[in-house]
């Protein structure tokens, strides 16, 4: 009984320290699929795309634009829209996770956004000004590109 209480207490303490230690509510975040984006009420629209040079499974890949947001102070379930920012929108990608499939926005693609960090692009308006080309990596070392543009 004491062991169970100690185990549960340690789990709670670890979670508490991790959440508040990393201050997860202070960072801009994004959703992992369109369903979550709509649930959080940040979804704006899907983007057009074309996969080139890749013959593997794309696992329902879909690019979309959403409003930028942060988590709530006490929970990642709470959505806090970004305010007072010059770049209130961001691009996100929906695809079935857990497979050998991934995408990376190269530096020349990031340069086409209004703002970016080392791996993500941000927008002033909810549309892409230009076609973005991203790198695609799949199972069995398959590679390709995905061209993405606004509708």
Question: Which contacts (CB < 8 Å, 24+ apart) does range 47-52 have?
Answer: 47/91, 47/128, 47/148, 47/149, 47/150, 47/151, 48/148, 48/149, 48/150, 48/151, 49/146, 49/147, 49/148, 49/149, 50/146, 50/147, 51/136, 51/144, 51/145, 51/146, 52/144, 52/145, 52/146, 52/147
Q: What is the DSSP letter of 112?
A: T
Q: pTM here?
A: 0.84
**Could you list the mean pLDDT of each consecutive 10-residue stretch along the chain, which spans 151 residues?**
60 56 84 95 97 86 96 93 95 82 90 90 95 89 92 85
| Contacts of 20 by beta carbon, 8 Å cutoff, 6+ apart | none
Q: How many domains does the chain have?
A: 1
Give me the domain span that covers residue 70: 28-149
Residue 13 lies in a domain: no
Give residue 40's pLDDT: 97
Beta carbons within 10 angstroms of residue 77's beta carbon: 9
Residue 9 lies in a domain: no
Residue 15 lies in a domain: no
Residue 20 lies in a domain: no
Residue 60 lies in a domain: yes
Residue 115 lies in a domain: yes
Q: What is the pLDDT of residues 95-116, one digit of tens each?
A: 877 677 888 999 999 999 999 9
């Amino acid at each position: 009984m004491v062991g169970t209480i100690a185990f549960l207490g340690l789990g709670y303490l670890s979670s508490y320290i991790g959440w508040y230690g990393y201050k997860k509510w202070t960072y801009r975040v994004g959703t992992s699929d369109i369903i979550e984006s709509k649930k959080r009420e940040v979804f704006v629209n899907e983007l057009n795309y074309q996969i080139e040079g890749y013959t593997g499974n794309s696992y329902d890949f879909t690019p979309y634009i959403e409003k930028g947001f942060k988590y709530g102070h006490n929970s990642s379930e709470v959505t806090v829209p970004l305010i007072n920012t010059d770049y209130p929108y961001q691009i996100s990608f929906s695809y079935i996770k857990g497979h050998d499939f991934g995408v990376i926005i190269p530096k020349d693609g990031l340069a086409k956004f209004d703002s970016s960090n080392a791996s993500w692009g941000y927008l002033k308006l909810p549309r892409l000004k230009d076609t973005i080309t991203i790198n695609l990596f799949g199972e069995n070392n398959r590679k390709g590109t995905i061209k993405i543009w606004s509708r």
